[in-house]
Structure 1
Amino acid sequence: MATMQEAIWQATLETVYMTIVSGLIAGVIGLLVGIVLAMTKPGGITEDRSFYSVLDKVVNLLRSIPFIILLAVISPLTSFLVGTTVGTTAALVPLIVGIFPFYARQIQIALQEVGPGVVEAAQSMGLSNQEIIFRVFLREGLADIIRVSTLTVISLIGLTTMAGAVGAGGLGNVAISIGYARFQNDVTFVCMIILLVMVFAVQFIGDRLSDHFTKF
């Protein structure tokens, strides 16, 4: 029993590691791509229909690939970058590629919620595009950005379990390789409870932060 507790604890740490590291990297990439989408879309402050069309299609394409297929398709890239396709570090590559397009689209939608009147007022005051991004879009849309970030992290936790089922480690690996394969339903149940606690914790923190900045 002590050995199993240690395995579950190690798997929990691996899941947290995959979620945090891939979430931070994918978050930065997704935020940048989302901002570019919002800026270059038709009617955006730096409208570029051709560039937007290409980037929009790339994001849609990456979002359309089922994650389990993505794991296999980009395995050569994963092997090139980290030297292996197995383990928690190797899982970071497909996790990042799999989640950043989703986050980018959510960021674009969140930024589009900022009223056009606010943007026009900022432009009339002579603010540069960079100032509008930081002082208008990111500031006014902060509460929505937190909400979509919360949703993205929860989705990412789910992807880590899927990656774990194919050798990435974490709670998904323990639930499948031990709980399911060896008919130890209690192990599967414990892994599920831990994942639910993680999801509820992320949702609680996200809700509190978004409520705070909405009032602020």
Structure 2
Amino acid sequence: MLREVLMTALGQTLYMVMVSTILAVAIGFIPAIILVITSEKGLKPNKVVYKGLDFIINILRSFPFIILMIAIFPFTKLVVGKTIGTTAAIVPLTIAAAPFAARIIESAMKEVDPGVIEAARSFGASNWQIIFKVILKEAIPSIILGVTLTVISVVGYSAMAGAIGGGGLGDVAIKYGYYRFQTDVMIYTVVILIVIVQLFQSMGDFIYKKLSK
């Protein structure tokens, strides 16, 4: 019985984490590219756009996840038709992770050697070619590490989502470990979460090393 509960919760957690991370990274790429282009040393500096987008991302990143999840209940219901459950939790998870992913992608892209960018310019490459064929290509290894950090953050968020009906391992820990005083269940869920984080970190490090060669 307990094994089935934990396996189901594990599946729900992985579902939430993977879908949310993919969506968050996809969404995060857009503001990250805009920030890189409009920054002071960017291809097309624009202080107003950069400062405005920078401010919005900082605000979104400052929201505690539990508060964010409750605050956007109406939006979640509009998107998926309900406010509780594993699928519903993906909406706030994505919104919470997207600005984090954007910052990481931005930082990775800004680490690219300016000399490489200047070389591409000297060959007549357009700004979009420089962004997608030079900067992104050079930043891929660092972006992989950033995505790994994003996945690990989403794992933590998903555990918190269980506190208010998000499902997954956090939900099992609350229902069984806390409310029913089953300490063993609490320990199992914590151990499983630690293993998940370690696996994702190891995978990210492995891919980073392969791409860095």
After TM superposition, list the pairs within 5 Å mapping 1:179-190 onto structure 2.
179-190=177-188
**2:13 equivalent in structure 1:** 15
Structure 1 residue ranges without an equivalent (≥5) = none
Secondary structure of 2:212 counterpart: helix
Aligned to 2:40: 42
Distance 2:26 2:45 in 1: 22
Amino acid in structure 2 at the alignment position of 1:136: V
Say what the alpha-carbon RMSD is for the aligned residues: 0.9
Matched AA of 1:156: V
What residue in structure 1 maps to residue 102 of structure 2? Answer: 104
Q: 2:199 aligns with which of 201, 206, 216?
A: 201
- Give the 3-state SS of the residue equivalent to 2:43 in structure 1: coil
| Runs (5+) with no aligned partner, structure 2 | none
Residue among 125, 128, 131 paired with 1:127: 125
- Secondary structure of 1:45 counterpart: coil
Residue among 137, 161, 164 paired with 1:163: 161
* TM superposition shift of 1:36: 1.4
Letter in 2 for 1:150: T
Deviation at 1:28, TM superposition (A): 0.3
State percent identity of aligned pairs: 47
Q: CA deviation at 1:83?
A: 1.4
Pick aligned residue for 2:71 from 65, 70, 73: 73
Counterpart of 2:68, as a letter, is L
Amino acid at match of 2:192: I
- TM-score of the pair, normalised by structure 2: 0.97
SS of 2:165's partner is helix
TM-score normalised per structure 1: 0.96
Give, in angstroms, the shift of residue 111 of structure 1. 0.6
- Name the count of aligned residue pairs: 213
Question: Which residue number in structure 1 is paired with residue 62 of structure 2?
Answer: 64
